[in-house]
Amino acid sequence: MQQPKKNFKIVPEKRSARVILPNMLTLIGVCIGLTSIRFALDERYEFAIIALIIAAVIDGLDGRIARLIKGTSKVGKELDSLTDMISFGVAPAFIMYFWKLNELGRFGWLVCLIYVICVALRLARFNVNTGGEPSWRDNFFEGVPSPAGGILILTPLIFSMSSIKLFKIDYAIIVPIFFIVTSFLLISKFPSYSFKKIVIQRKATIFLLFGIVLFFGLLLIYPFNVISVSALIYLAMLPISFFHYQKLKKENEGQNYDDEDDNLEDVL
The CATH number given to whatever domain includes residue 117 is 1.20.120.1760
Say if 161 falls within a structural domain: yes
Residues 33 and 51: beta-carbon distance below 8 Å: yes
Please count the structural domains in the chain.
Answer: 1
Q: Is residue 5 part of a domain?
A: no
E-assigned strands of the chain? 140-142, 191-193
- Within 13 Å of residue 192, how many CA atoms lie on the same side as its CB? 23
**Positive or negative, the Cα torsion across 102, 108, 114, 119?**
negative
188 assigned to some structural domain:
yes
CB 161 within 8 A of CB 49: yes
Domain hosting residue 178, numbered range: 18-128+135-251
The C-alpha atoms of residue 133 and residue 38 are separated, in whole angstroms, by: 42
pLDDT tens series, the chain, 268 aa = 455 555 545 444 455 666 777 788 888 988 999 999 999 999 999 999 999 999 988 888 877 777 777 767 777 777 888 888 999 999 999 999 999 999 999 999 999 999 999 999 998 887 776 655 666 677 788 888 888 999 999 999 999 998 887 778 888 899 999 999 999 999 988 888 877 666 667 777 888 888 889 998 998 899 899 999 999 899 999 999 888 888 888 887 765 544 444 444 433 4
Residue 52: inside a domain: yes
What are the φ and ψ backbone dihedral angles of 69, each rounded to 5 degrees?
-95, 10
Answer whether residue 257 is part of any domain: no
Is residue 13 one of the residues assigned to a domain?
Answer: no
Structural domain includes residue 268: no
Q: Cβ of 255: how many Cβ atoms within 10 Å? A: 9
Would residue 263 count as lying in a domain?
Answer: no
Angle in degrees, 0-180, between the axes of helices 45-68 and 91-99, rounded to the nearest 10: 170
Question: 83: which residues sit within 8 A by CB, 6+ positions away?
Answer: 26, 27, 29, 30, 33, 59
Helix (H, G, I), strand (E, B) or coil at 193: strand
- The rounded Cα 253 to chain-centroid distance in angstroms is 30
Report the predicted TM-score, pTM, of the whole model to 2 decimal places. Answer: 0.81
